[in-house]
Amino acid sequence: MSPLPTTDTPGRVLLVDDEPAFQRLGGAFLRNLGHEVLTAGDGDQALAMFARERPDLVLLDLAMPPSMDPEQGLALIPGFSGAPVVVLTGHAQHDLALRAAELGAWDFLPKPIDPELLRFVVMRALRKHRLDLELIRLRQDHGEESMGLVGQAPAMASLRGMVRRVAPTRVNVLVLGPTGTGKELVARALHEHSAHAAAPFVPVHCGALSAELLESELFGHVKGSFTGAYRDQPGLVEVARGGTLFLDEVGEMPPAMQVKLLRFLQEGSYMPVGGRITRSSEVRVVAATHRDLEAMVRAGEFREDLYYRLKGVVLRTPALSERRQDVPVLSARFAQQRGVGISASALAWLSARDWPGNVRELKAVVDAAAALLLPGQQELDADALCLAAGETPSSVPAASAASDDAGGLLDQALTELERRLISEAMQASGGNQSEAARRLGISRVGLIKKLNRLGLK
């Protein structure tokens, strides 16, 4: 058996146990690993200390005074929201573990506790907490959560910058990129960051319908215009009035519809199917395709005048192969959306693979793996991902071989995030360490340790 990995970045651990001897020995063990340890002897003290000190991890004994009833310990778990909770108890019953997980506990360790297992669980829990903080940071950083454009790769940073610049305008936008790279996310971000975010965002897939059906879908029809047209039906250009019309896979649009779309883009007017009166609607058009429209224009498959009407501004979504450093963060995000954690072996497996289907394929595999977890399982591992991908664990030996590389990618991303957060807090506080620590939600001693470790002093 390979040795358990050593702890990486130290954290602040709140140890909640009524036994002074365990507080002393457990605290000493964790401090020797480099962690800052806080202790509490009962539930009220633990909740007050958690609110005041905001630790990175809670180790919680379920049986504490005055009642020594594990039910009382279970009731404390929701109070530690924002940090992973590892339950410690001498009552190693399966039903307790399940109920603790249902209440939000991240892991479960029976007493007497094996030191090496404790070290390993603490390491994983702190890594999970750092991933959670990174996702929160991504949500707060210039509205990235509403954009949905997650990633630290230069190509993603450039794309987000362009979205922020273009969104307030009314210029038409053409989004180009491989399938599965999030072109609709870009379109939604443009809409949500515009002055017309309260108006509708209306998507339509241009390749999913025939020319006749697409015309009716876009421009509507009047009663009696064809069999089954029992009443007037407004088109999507009317539904999207004042907002954004997203033409997905516009390169698949039938030639007959290209002419009618061009007229609408030029004049803002259209005529419903079977109608005789011209109508108008003002919308912003965002179009997207994975096809090479310039090549299609040269081949006579796409109207040149329509192409130039659509490409007011061109944005490009990068393939996942161009932003491999984002695989760990994206994977952790997708796992968190399914309410589960993700192990280092899983991140290694994911980082070692090619993703021809890009982010869409990555999300599909993570979602499927989460659905395949056994009852009580709270974390994705490489085996679950193999099963989700239709493989057997033995068929992907490269995953373990790549674990160091994947772990390195994740650690590097987390370290850079930590360095940026601390630098910003120190700058905002004018170099006052106590104020910077308050902003970061850590102690001044913890901040000083981080400053020394990151070389920021």
Whose CA is closest to 406, among 320, 326, 318?
A: 326
**Structure confidence at residue 138 (pLDDT):** 53
| Domain spanning 406-454: CATH superfamily | Homeodomain-like (1.10.10.60)
**Structure confidence at residue 41 (pLDDT):** 87
Sequence spans of domains, the chain? 12-138, 154-317, 321-401, 406-454
pLDDT band at residue 166, thresholds of 50, 70 and 90?
A: very high
Would you say residue 77 has pLDDT above 90?
no
The CATH fold of domain 154-317? Rossmann fold (3.40.50)
Would you say residue 97 has pLDDT above 80?
no
12-138 and 154-317 agree in CATH topology? yes
Name the least confident of 146-160, 369-383, 387-401.
Answer: 387-401
pLDDT mean across residues, the chain: 82
On whether the 321-401 domain is CATH 1.10.8.60, my answer is yes
pLDDT band at residue 413, thresholds of 50, 70 and 90?
A: low
Task: Give the pLDDT confidence of 49-74 residue by residue, as tens digits.
Answer: 888 888 999 999 887 766 567 777 78
Name the least confident of 232-236, 240-244, 426-430.
Answer: 426-430
Name the least confident of 50-64, 235-249, 374-388, 443-457.
Answer: 443-457
Tell me the mean pLDDT in the region 309-330: 92
* Single pTM value for the model: 0.57
Task: Give the pLDDT confidence of 435-456 residue by residue, as tens digits.
Answer: 777 666 666 666 777 787 787 7
**Structure confidence at residue 223 (pLDDT):** 82
Would you say residue 412 has pLDDT above 70?
no
Would you say residue 288 has pLDDT above 90?
yes
More confident position, 445 or 189: 189
Would you say residue 143 has pLDDT above 50?
no
**Structure confidence at residue 443 (pLDDT):** 66
The answer to whether 73 and 60 have CB atoms below 8 angstroms apart is yes
pLDDT band at residue 410, thresholds of 50, 70 and 90?
A: low
Token pair, residue 366, equals: 């993570």
**Structure confidence at residue 441 (pLDDT):** 60
More confident position, 227 or 330: 330
For 402, residues 6+ apart whose C-beta sits below 8 A from its C-beta are 348, 349, 351, 352
The CATH fold of domain 12-138? Rossmann fold (3.40.50)
pLDDT band at residue 14, thresholds of 50, 70 and 90?
A: very high
**Rounded to an integer, what distance in angstroms lies between the CA atom of residue 409 and that of residue 406?**
5
Would you say residue 246 has pLDDT above 80?
yes
Name the least confident of 47-56, 105-114, 249-258.
Answer: 105-114
**Rounded to an integer, what distance in angstroms lies between the CA atom of residue 417 and that of residue 427?**
15
Task: Give the pLDDT confidence of 335-368 residue by residue, as tens digits.
Answer: 888 888 888 778 888 988 889 999 999 999 999 9
Would you say residue 208 has pLDDT above 70?
yes
pLDDT band at residue 135, thresholds of 50, 70 and 90?
A: low
Tell me the mean pLDDT in the region 181-197: 93
For 60, residues 6+ apart whose C-beta sits below 8 A from its C-beta are 16, 46, 73, 76, 77, 80, 85, 86, 87, 88, 105
